[in-house]
Amino acid sequence: MARKAKPKRVKTIVDGHKENFECLRKAFAQGDVCLAACTLLATGEKVAVICAVNNDTDKEENIQLVPMAMFFNGNPYELLEAPMENPKKEAAK
């Protein structure tokens, strides 16, 4: 009987994204996040963006919003192919 080939694992995390995710996780834990309306420069499309709030200064006017993640306009299930069908099943292999 032929061996069933294991599905090829695809690297889904771009270098730097894990660090950005950790930064965003910490910002949520500290309450330093906001949702901002932005415009994509390439298309002019309006998008919702999760921003970390950089308020390391003592002056309120110096607060910076650092864009970290963007919401999908539309149904993400129609826009993306999942990295694997069943992550729990794949992790058990």
Is the pTM here over 0.75, yes or no? no
Report pLDDT for 14.
Answer: 77
Other Cβ atoms closer than 10 A to 49: 18
Res. 9: pLDDT tops 70: no
Looking at the chain, how many residues does it have? 93
Rounded to 5 degrees, φ, ψ at 86 are: -135, 95
Report pLDDT for 86.
Answer: 59
Q: Where are the domains of the chain?
A: 34-72
